[in-house]
Amino acid sequence: MKRYKSTVANLGIAVLAFVLILSALEAGLAITQFNVPETVLFIPGKGTTYIPHAYYRHTKEGFSEGRYNSHGFRDYERSYEKPQGVYRIVVLGDSYIEGLQVELEKTFTAQLEKMLNGHPSLRKFEVLSLGQSGFGTAEEYLRYLNFGVSYTPDLVVLAFTTGNDFRNNSKFLNGGSIGYYFTFDSGHHLVLDRSLVESYEKELTYPKRLFQAIKIHSHFLSLLSERLHLLNRQIVEARMRGAYGHIWNSEDRTKTDLDVFSDLNIYRRDLPEPWEQAVELTGEIILALKKSVEEHGGQFLLLGLSSAEQVHSEVGDGLRTQYGLEFDYEQPDRILLELAEKNGIAFLALMPALRKYHAKTGQYLHGFGGSRNGHWNETGHRIAAELTYQFLKERHMVPLESKHS
């Protein structure tokens, strides 16, 4: 009996010590604001968004903090019902449109809305941001169908990140990352592939659901979950790179240090076969999105964004030297332009003008601090918004008739 009591007492002390350590870790993370609790929300049948009104604090690149709106987007508060006298623009995109690297009022969408409303028009403008990090065109198409349509937009802008969206649309090149994808059936028609999402849903056992419910309130569990996810992704990516190895440089038949999963492949004149397939698939997804937008009574604009290596010459030249390949940084925009001209799509490529602005002024549009890589900084967002505003105005795609006309 004494041994039993001693064992129980030791177990109780161990449990108490464990709870105290976890409490101390939780308090330390909260006080130092090292991270914030999990904010991603998975909605069965619709994919991921963010927890409505959840607090975010982004410090990994640039800085911003705030709360997501009641619909789970990083945007100002919006109503699903379009107010009378409002011309509504919905912008679909990835982390560039989400813009966590800068404060909300400095993002592309917020500045474009301000510019449009600064014009003496009979209409008020709303530019809604539906962007989310990690999304490709397939996910953005589904976001439009599941959420965007509800806002009754007059214009839908697909903000296409030329540096990684082609890869994101390929289930193979995207490393099997959980999400929605499209593939071709035997008749070469687009078919939605829900398999990875459905597998994820089946694996959500009660303990996993309980853990997810708790971690949205815990700094420590959110950090632990994030680290485990990153570790798992690194293991999966390492296995895939090991299995498929390096690809060949078709110009001289030598191996390059560039593996088939690298985003830089989109700049190769000799696109590897998986990338050719990704380009073809991407084109069909864009056309399907355009068709859906028009069927719902809206206009469609394809907006080509930019990457640092395209805009900052020293970054692009450095990559050419590093890999010994003559990257063609204009190729992604030519691919989009050819698609647009062939199918009557309104298209604006921002990259050439952004590169020209950098060359003329010396100001960097990508990167923060001493970095010349990464997402748009405040200047990048502002210039991109100005260029888009001018395009919409010159093409008469938005009602900017004057109050006095």
Question: Which tops the pLDDT comparison, 242 or 199?
Answer: 199
% of the chain exceeding 90 in pLDDT: 68
Question: Which tops the pLDDT comparison, 380 or 46?
Answer: 380
Query: What confidence tens digit (pLDDT) does each residue in 384-401 have?
Result: 999 999 999 999 999 987
Q: What is the mean pLDDT of residues 279-299?
A: 98
The top-scoring range by mean pLDDT among 22-26, 32-36, 172-176, 221-225 is 172-176
Specify whether the CB–CB gap between 350 and 387 falls below 8 A.
yes
Q: What is the mean pLDDT of residues 138-162?
A: 97
pLDDT value of position 34: 74
Domain boundaries, the chain: 1-32, 38-394
Specify whether the CB–CB gap between 352 and 308 falls below 8 A.
no
pLDDT value of position 146: 96
Q: Is the pLDDT score of 160 beyond 50?
A: yes
Q: What is the pTM of this model?
A: 0.91
DSSP 149: G
CA distance 105 to 120: 21
Q: What is the mean pLDDT of residues 192-214?
A: 83
pLDDT value of position 248: 46
| Residues 6+ away with beta carbon under 8 Å from 368 | 61, 62, 101, 374, 377
pLDDT value of position 249: 46
Specify whether the CB–CB gap between 155 and 397 falls below 8 A.
yes
pLDDT value of position 327: 97
Query: What confidence tens digit (pLDDT) does each residue in 57-85 have?
Result: 999 999 999 999 999 999 999 999 999 99
Average pLDDT, the chain: 89
pLDDT value of position 122: 81
Q: What is the mean pLDDT of residues 217-239?
A: 73
Burial 49-88 (b: 16+ CB within 10 A, else e): bbbeebebebeebbebeebbbebbbbbeebeeebeeeebb
DSSP result, 303-314: EE---HHHH-HH
pLDDT value of position 250: 46
Q: Nearest-CA neighbor of 161 among 95, 62, 104?
A: 95
CA distance 66 to 68: 7
Which CATH homologous superfamily contains domain 38-394? Answer: SGNH hydrolase (3.40.50.1110)
pLDDT value of position 29: 65
Specify whether the CB–CB gap between 320 and 275 falls below 8 A.
no
DSSP result, 239-297: HHHHHH-EEEETTTTEEEEEETT-GGGGG-SS--HHHHHHHHHHHHHHHHHHHHHHHTT
Q: Is the pLDDT score of 132 beyond 90?
A: yes
